[in-house]
Amino acid sequence: MAYLVDTHTLIWFLTKNKKLGRKAIEMLRKAENGDGTVIIPTIVLAEIMYICEKNKAELSFNKVLEKLTESVNYLVYDLDIDTIIKASELDKIVEIHDRIIVASALLTGSKILTKDENIKESNYVETVW
């Protein structure tokens, strides 16, 4: 099973933050152990880059990239025209980054590991926390 992560989920997992949901931790650990796939939209990487540059997380962007390139269980999902078209249809979601994340999940047939209330309440995709 493939799970797609939002920005906070990935940051909290990599920094071992206690805010991360129990089920999200379980799914991410399974993927790290070779039992599943974690999909990371490029918009999530862009947000993490920005957060790291602003020192808003105890995390190095280069370390994030290293981790992603070393693992076969992390797949980066590119932002393309199909994703933008799908995102334009998701009017229940206010924030553009979240629209792109949900669109990516829909196009990959993935559940989203997220705590985001707007994403959960939209009911566009199944969420796990």
Cα(33)–Cα(124) distance, integer angstroms: 29
Amino acid of residue 92 = K
Give the model confidence (pLDDT) of 110-127 as tens digits: 999 999 999 999 999 999
Q: How many CB atoms lie within 10 A of CB 111?
A: 17
CATH level 2 (architecture), domain 2-128: 3-Layer(aba) Sandwich (3.40)
What DSSP string describes 88-101? HT-TT--SHHHHHH
Average per-residue pLDDT for the chain: 96
Give the model confidence (pLDDT) of 18-63 as tens digits: 999 999 999 999 998 889 999 999 999 999 999 999 999 889 999 9
Domain boundaries, the chain: 2-128
